[in-house]
Amino acid sequence: MTQKSKIDFKQILDHSHIANPYPLYAQFRETPVALQEDGSYLVSTYNEVVSLLHDPRISSDMRKSDAQKRFMQQAKQKREEMIAQGQQVEEPEEIVPAFIFQDPPNHDRLRRIVTSQLTPERVENMSSHIEQIVKEHLDKHAQGGQIDIVDDLAYPLPVTVICQLLGVPREDEAQFHAWAEPLASVLDPGQVQTEEQQKQIMQAGRQMREYMGQLLQKLKAQPGDNLLSGMMAADDIDGAMSPRELISTAVLLLIAGHETTVNLITNGTLAMLRSPELLERLRQDPELIITYVEELLRYDPPVHFRTRTALADIQIAGTTIPQGATIILVLASGSHDGQRFERSEELIPDRQGNEHLGFGSGLHYCVGAPLARVEAHIALGEISRRLIEPKLALDPPPYRDNAALRGPRHLPVNFKGLRS
């Protein structure tokens, strides 16, 4: 039997929950698969989330969901009406969805081309550079005082890294800084967008794609040792990336580089500064950072949920999810499931056997995970090691408006100086 949940998923967006959504998730888990008012299904328990992430009957292509089909139909009708009334209507731009919004086999082809360029060697070569960037950003605060972990380190670090890796000139970054956040809000299914916001997102998208198109032209003429040049040149048995695919892939990687790792580093700093004991352990045992970062990915991850569409009727946890339904997989709730993790609501920095869902699971497992790990190991390691007597200036800190890519907007920290 299908159970209608008492819990409304949209509560996640309520600002009273965004600083700590985990009690709400615990309520979600009382109904592992819960039908929502809008016809979507909320999945919140570990086994069910993992099982659906590995289920061939699940699609990442939003165009296959009933809700999206209805939405497209309405948009089309509206356009036709406007045309009938003699109004000027822009032709909708034909956009190729990025590979995280696609299914096999095309998803696999695009992802193969990305991973053929994002190699272990490339990431390894970045790591000394990452150390350097972290050092430079921290050294600016040698006198102590106040540092905003977000603006002064956690945001610029991954942005610098992804720009360099992709082959985006660093000086262009300021331009798309403003585009990344509205575009990232698309990943938030709970977000109710006003017409104004939708326009803003569309415009940001158009501008970013235009920018990328021009950059790719430049790189085509003058290829460099970077991902974009590599992806452009890469062949695949099922076909190279088309120009449109290159653009959507580049935009995705750039947004992901802007909007995720920042949360991991900031959440990691927040947690260690909330617990003097934890901070001391990290200082005493630098290797602890390895399991600490995995635990963060479980305990307070950068990405909280993802949506999918059912391609067939799926029976799970006593519920049938009908074909065409939108499924919201609350990864962060699955990672807090007490049925799967002992002491699930505690942060245990040396937790063993940590099969968290911080990077997802299955064929859409985060392609940037290795990079995020290196950045988090180095940044959090250095923050714990170097800051003298760090104290949170504000707890809880202000959060950004995105419940899917969740993290503080600022994290001001007072400290007395830096160790060398």
Phi-psi region of 318 (alpha: psi -120 to 50; beta: other; left: phi over 0): left
> Exactly one of 3, 74, 77, 115 binds another protein (CB under 8 A); which one?
115
* Count of residues touching another protein (by CB under 8 A): 41
CB of 120 to another protein, least distance (A): 4
Yes or no: say if 251 and 162 are a contact pair by the CB < 8 Å rule: no
Listed ranges 15-23, 97-105, 299-307, 341-349: which one lies at the site for another protein (CB under 8 A)? 97-105
Closest CA to 184 of 196, 193, 195, 174: 193
* Tokens linked to 117: 């360029």
Listed ranges 27-35, 104-112, 197-205, 330-338: which one lies at the site for another protein (CB under 8 A)? 104-112
* Closer residue to another protein, CB minimum distance, 294 or 300: 294
CB of 379 to another protein, least distance (A): 15
Query: What are the Cα distances from residue 345, in Å, to 21, 48, 221, 254, 319?
Result: 12, 19, 53, 32, 27
* Closer residue to another protein, CB minimum distance, 51 or 68: 51
Phi, psi of 36 (to 5 degrees): -100, 165
* Tokens linked to 213: 């198109």
CB of 384 to another protein, least distance (A): 17
CB of 99 to another protein, least distance (A): 13
Q: Enumerate residues 290-349 that contact another protein by CB under 8 A.
A: 290-291, 294, 311-312, 323
Listed ranges 19-27, 274-282, 353-361, 384-392: which one lies at the site for another protein (CB under 8 A)? 353-361
Burial zone of 120 (CB within 10 Å; 0-12 exposed, 13-18 middle, 19+ buried): exposed
> Exactly one of 202, 317, 347, 369 binds another protein (CB under 8 A); which one?
369
Is 173 a binding residue for another protein by CB under 8 A? The answer is no
Residue 177 CB contacts under 8 Å (≥ 6 apart), including other chains: 159, 258
CB of 52 to another protein, least distance (A): 9
* Closer residue to another protein, CB minimum distance, 261 or 402: 261
* Closer residue to another protein, CB minimum distance, 11 or 51: 51
How many Cα neighbours within 13 Å face the side chain of 200?
14
> Exactly one of 362, 391, 392, 414 binds another protein (CB under 8 A); which one?
362
CB of 382 to another protein, least distance (A): 16
Is 128 a binding residue for another protein by CB under 8 A? The answer is no
Element at 412 (helix H, strand E): strand 412-415
Is 37 a binding residue for another protein by CB under 8 A? The answer is no
Task: Indicate the pairing of strand 306-310 with strand 314-316.
Answer: unpaired
| Look-up of token digits 């006593």 | 318
Is 61 a binding residue for another protein by CB under 8 A? The answer is yes
CB of 113 to another protein, least distance (A): 13
d(CA 126, CA 111): 21
Q: Enumerate residues 217-276 that contact another protein by CB under 8 A.
A: 237-238
Task: Indicate the pairing of strand 306-310 with strand 326-329.
Answer: antiparallel
CB of 116 to another protein, least distance (A): 10
> Exactly one of 156, 213, 370, 398 binds another protein (CB under 8 A); which one?
370
Coil, helix or strand for 34? strand
Coil, helix or strand for 58? strand
Listed ranges 36-44, 57-65, 205-213, 405-413: which one lies at the site for another protein (CB under 8 A)? 57-65
CB of 345 to another protein, least distance (A): 21
Listed ranges 4-12, 68-76, 86-94, 370-378: which one lies at the site for another protein (CB under 8 A)? 370-378
Amino acid at 101: F
Is 80 a binding residue for another protein by CB under 8 A? The answer is no
Element at 415 (helix H, strand E): strand 412-415
Task: Give the start-end residues of each E strand in 292-411.
Answer: 306-310, 314-316, 319-321, 326-329, 391-392
Phi-psi region of 277 (alpha: psi -120 to 50; beta: other; left: phi over 0): alpha
* Closer residue to another protein, CB minimum distance, 81 or 235: 235
List of residues contacting another protein (CB under 8 A): 50-51, 54-57, 59, 61, 64, 103-105, 108, 112, 115, 120-121, 123-124, 237-238, 287, 290-291, 294, 311-312, 323, 353-355, 359, 361-363, 365, 369-370, 373-374, 377
